[in-house]
Amino acid sequence: MPLDEERGPDEAELLAAYARGDVAAARILTAQLAPRVYAQAYRMLGDTAEAEDVAQEAMMRLWRVAPDWRAGEAKVSTWLYRVAANLCTDRLRRRRRAVPGLDAVPEPADPAPSAEAGLQAAARTDALSRALAALPERQRLAVVLRHIEGLANPEIAQIMEIGVEAVESLTARGKRALRAALAPQRQALGFEDDAI
């Protein structure tokens, strides 16, 4: 495996090494990709256990596809984000069928307004999670991938299998909706006094 001293092997090279039986490649890929796919699933589903299941399943699909992976056709992480997004979509649909209106993050425990910065940060995170959960599914995915995972619009377009302009539209509408949802809580979340 050719190693670039500057950046190390890329994901496709690591996947090829994994398919050849390289255990170290399995460890590196797990360390690099599993946290990202878990974070994406958690932001989409708002549930730790379900996000774990999605991350594990998406990674399992990656391991299975490794021997047949064609380098250069798609970026490994892009493929993985797409698999995770589809798995999340399936779960959200099942949720809607099971209990209408359950597609939301559970109410957090009493945020207990406090001078403690940690508690305030937790309250802000909870508020964001709830606002995200209230977004339509496609807007949520676009916002998560663009503004939380930090992906570029063309990559998000590949993951969501839509055009770049559609991604821009979804993220713009998603952010507008988030602002609208969070604005009434500005004071409660401490944004009035804090120039974060």
Work out whether 81 is an interface residue with another protein (CB under 8 A): no
Work out whether 191 is an interface residue with another protein (CB under 8 A): yes
The residue whose two tokens read 């969070």 is 182
113, amino acid identity: P
Distances (CA, A) of 91 to 53, 88, 180: 10, 5, 27
Contact with another protein (CB under 8 A) among 93, 94, 96, 186? 186
Closest separation in Å from C-beta 23 to another protein:
7
Nearer CB in complex with another protein: 39/162: 39
Burial 140-164 (b: 16+ CB within 10 A, else e): bbbbbbbeebebebebbbbbbeeee
Contacts with another protein by CB under 8 A: the residue count is 45
Work out whether 147 is an interface residue with another protein (CB under 8 A): yes
Q: In terms of C-beta density within 10 A (0-12 exposed, 13-18 middle, 19 or more buried), how is residue 100 classed?
A: exposed
Question: 172, 193, 182: which is closest to 125 by C-alpha?
Answer: 182
Question: What CA–CA distance (Å, rounded) separates 121 from 113?
Answer: 11
Nearer CB in complex with another protein: 102/180: 180
String marking each residue 7-36 x if it binds another protein according to CB under 8 A = -----------xxxx-x--xx-xxx--xx-
Contact with another protein (CB under 8 A) among 141, 149, 153, 158? 149
Nearer CB in complex with another protein: 60/93: 60
Contact with another protein (CB under 8 A) among 76, 84, 143, 170? 143
Work out whether 119 is an interface residue with another protein (CB under 8 A): no
Q: Which two tokens stand for residue 8?
A: 């190390």
Question: What CA–CA distance (Å, rounded) separates 65 from 194?
Answer: 48
Which residue ranges make up the site for another protein (CB under 8 A)? 18-21, 23, 26-27, 29-31, 34-35, 38-39, 42-43, 48, 52, 55-56, 59-60, 63-64, 66-67, 121, 124-125, 128, 143, 147-150, 175, 178-180, 182-183, 186, 191, 195-196
